[in-house]
């Protein structure tokens, strides 16, 4: 596909190995596209880019422009799939120095995040920082019952009401949640907040192209129509049943082959710190989709060249259980060039006239060859440009490959039963009614702490 390419030339995988997977991939495609596989009540995201309701897009944009008028900052309250997609796209596209620019010189509201952990100092500082700014809040929870965002929203709701009054707060808070179920739905209806629905058949980690991601991104000035168009181009392209022509399926098949060879850790590497949250989003997508029943590749991430000075050693030389997937933006037009220095004390005059992008690209080429020679196969995803359209392609590429890959692995890629274990323990330890017996067992076990 124009805009996104998968290069398997450094993966060590032969075309014949991919060819051997043709039938399995076709079966997985069939299950995913026609909804006959495990977890088929959560595949609403598969055809979403093609069937997106444009009346909903109009509503998202209308709400976004209403809130953009009102705020300098938008606080997005959510965890996991309810915030990672927004953060991934927003941070990839925003000015990386945004945090030190003066608010009055900014064109777009800045997104701050809450409810994605339980740390107190962060929340105190966040609430303190809001006082000098105009604030709106988008609280996002599919279940409407997740503890972290629910606690954060309690605090932000009372902050907003104290500051703007009940009526004023209502104008500035939007809830994105289930259409009928959950505490957030009840609260939003009772308070009269504007709401957006997360459809039943789309799980959190596949929800970035629903109002979960599109509303906050539109408020922050991202071209969400372009994002969706990119996803739609990917959707059309990846309907192709030919494995040899379908880069998305080739990615799913390649990681399966490597896993079978004992490469049980996949590191998503990039050469641009703006992509850090693309990696975080990808880790949730693959970690929750595949890590179950004692199976699945462990998804990890690094940022180069920064982490070449830390994790690079392990990747080059440590246990040979790793493969890397490099996410490379191939737009090499750079204007920031290294200058000539008369004394040349650092010996870097040989770089004079080269742009930072060119140098970064050579870092990529050098690392690729070194890691491959060291026994770490590399897959390379080449993204032509870092803009909303290409990110839309990339998001859908990863989503569909994940569904296919999960079916190739033989798991249900659309549930996450393992996440409940910590929740149950935390509730018991906090004294939630109904958990008394479990609490006693846990407290006995904690005596060793």
Q: Does 187 bind ligand G6P (CB under 6 A)?
A: no
Q: Which is nearer to ligand G6P, 419 or 445 (CB)?
A: 419
CA distances from 131 to 125, 134, 444 (A): 11, 8, 44
Q: Does 39 bind ligand G6P (CB under 6 A)?
A: no
Q: Which is nearer to ligand G6P, 175 or 327 (CB)?
A: 175
CA distances from 111 to 92, 106, 130, 161, 222 (A): 13, 12, 12, 20, 12
Q: Which is nearer to ligand G6P, 144 or 230 (CB)?
A: 144
Distance CA 44, CA 35 (A): 9
Query: How many residues bind to ligand G6P according to rule CB under 6 A?
Result: 14
Catalytic one of 423, 424, 436, 443: 423
Catalytic-residue membership of 358:
no
In the complex, least distance from residue 204 CB atom to ligand G6P, rounded to whole angstroms: 3
Distance CA 436, CA 424 (A): 11
Q: Does 230 bind ligand G6P (CB under 6 A)?
A: no
Q: Which is nearer to ligand G6P, 179 or 320 (CB)?
A: 179
Tokens standing for 3? 């805009």
C-beta neighbour count of 202 within 10 angstroms: 22
In the complex, least distance from residue 3 CB atom to ligand G6P, rounded to whole angstroms: 28
3-state secondary structure at position 261: coil
Q: Which of 204, 216, 230, 287 binds ligand G6P (CB under 6 A)?
A: 204
In the complex, least distance from residue 288 CB atom to ligand G6P, rounded to whole angstroms: 5
Q: Which of 49, 149, 213, 296 binds ligand G6P (CB under 6 A)?
A: 149
* Secondary structure letter of residue 167 according to DSSP: H
Distance CA 341, CA 355 (A): 15
Q: Which of 247, 303, 378, 416 binds ligand G6P (CB under 6 A)?
A: 416
Residue 7's Cβ-side half-sphere holds a number of Cα atoms within 13 Å equal to: 13
Q: Which of 28, 42, 44, 82 binds ligand G6P (CB under 6 A)?
A: 82
In the complex, least distance from residue 180 CB atom to ligand G6P, rounded to whole angstroms: 14
Q: Which of 7, 17, 108, 143 binds ligand G6P (CB under 6 A)?
A: 143
Beta pairing class for 298-303 and 4-7? unpaired
Distance CA 424, CA 403 (A): 28
Q: CA angle, corner 359, sides to 355 and 360, nearest 5?
A: 110
Catalytic one of 280, 288, 290, 324: 288
Contact of 138 with 172, CB cutoff 8 Å: no
Q: Which is nearer to ligand G6P, 293 or 340 (CB)?
A: 293
Q: Does 247 bind ligand G6P (CB under 6 A)?
A: no
Q: Which stretch binds ligand G6P (CB under 6 A): 141-149, 167-175, 267-275, 295-303?
A: 141-149
Catalytic-residue membership of 22:
no
Q: Does 85 bind ligand G6P (CB under 6 A)?
A: no
Chain-centre distance of CA 376, in angstroms?
25
Alpha helices in 192-261 (DSSP H): 211-219, 224-237, 247-260
Q: Which of 86, 141, 270, 405 binds ligand G6P (CB under 6 A)?
A: 141
Contact of 79 with 148, CB cutoff 8 Å: yes
Backbone angles phi, psi at 112, to 5 degrees: -115, 155
In the complex, least distance from residue 115 CB atom to ligand G6P, rounded to whole angstroms: 8
Q: Which of 12, 81, 296, 413 binds ligand G6P (CB under 6 A)?
A: 81
Q: Evaluate the omega torsion of the peptide bond into residue 305 and state whether it is cis, within 30 degrees of 0.
A: yes
- Catalogue the active-site residues: 288, 423
Residues near ligand G6P (CB under 6 A) are 79-82, 141-143, 146, 149, 204-205, 288, 416, 419
């Amino acid at each position: 596909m124009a805009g996104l390419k998968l290069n398997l030339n450094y993966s060590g995988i032969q075309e014949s190995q991919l060819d051997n997977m043709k039938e399995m991939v076709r079966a997985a495609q069939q299950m995913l596209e026609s909804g006959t596989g495990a977890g088929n009540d959560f595949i609403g995201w598969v055809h979403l880019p093609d069937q997106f309701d444009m009346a909903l897009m109009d509503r998202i944009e209308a709400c976004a422009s209403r809130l953009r008028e009102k705020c300098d900052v938008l606080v997005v309250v959510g965890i996991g799939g309810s915030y990672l997609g927004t953060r991934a796209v927003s941070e990839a596209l925003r000015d990386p120095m945004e945090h030190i620019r003066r608010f009055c010189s900014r064109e777009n509201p800045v997104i701050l995040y809450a409810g994605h952990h339980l740390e107190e100092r962060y929340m105190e500082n966040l609430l303190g920082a809001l006082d000098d700014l105009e604030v709106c809040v988008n609280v996002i929870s599919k279940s409407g019952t997740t503890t972290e965002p629910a606690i954060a929203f309690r605090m932000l709701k009372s902050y907003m009401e104290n500051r703007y009054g009940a009526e004023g707060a209502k104008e500035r808070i939007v809830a994105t949640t289930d259409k009928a179920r959950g505490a957030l739905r009840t609260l939003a209806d009772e308070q009269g907040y504007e709401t957006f629905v997360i459809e039943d058949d789309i799980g959190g980690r596949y929800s970035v192209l629903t109002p979960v991601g599109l509303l906050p991104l539109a408020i922050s000035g991202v071209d969400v129509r372009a994002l969706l168009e990119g996803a739609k181009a990917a959707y059309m392209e990846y309907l192709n049943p030919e494995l040899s022509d379908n880069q998305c399926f080739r990615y799913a098949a390649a990681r399966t082959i490597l896993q079978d060879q004992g490469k049980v850790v996949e590191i998503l590497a990039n050469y641009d710190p703006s992509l850090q949250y693309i990696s975080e989003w990808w880790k949730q997508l693959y970690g929750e989709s595949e890590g179950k029943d004692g199976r699945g590749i462990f998804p990890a991430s690094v940022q180069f060249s920064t982490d070449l000075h830390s994790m690079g050693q392990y990747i080059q030389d440590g246990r040979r259980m790793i493969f890397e997937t490099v996410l490379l933006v191939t737009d090499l037009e750079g204007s920031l060039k290294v200058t000539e220095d008369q004394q040349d004390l650092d010996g870097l005059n040989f770089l004079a006239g080269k742009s930072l992008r060119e140098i970064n690209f050579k870092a990529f080429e050098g690392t690729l060859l070194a890691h491959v020679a060291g026994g770490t196969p590399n897959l390379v995803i080449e993204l032509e440009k870092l803009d909303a359209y290409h990110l839309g392609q990339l998001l859908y590429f990863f989503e569909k490959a994940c569904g296919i890959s999960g079916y190739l692995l033989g798991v249900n890629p659309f549930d996450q039963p393992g996440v409940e274990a910590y929740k149950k323990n935390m509730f018991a330890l906090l004294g939630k009614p109904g958990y008394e017996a479990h609490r006693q067992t846990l407290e006995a076990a904690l005596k060793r702490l």
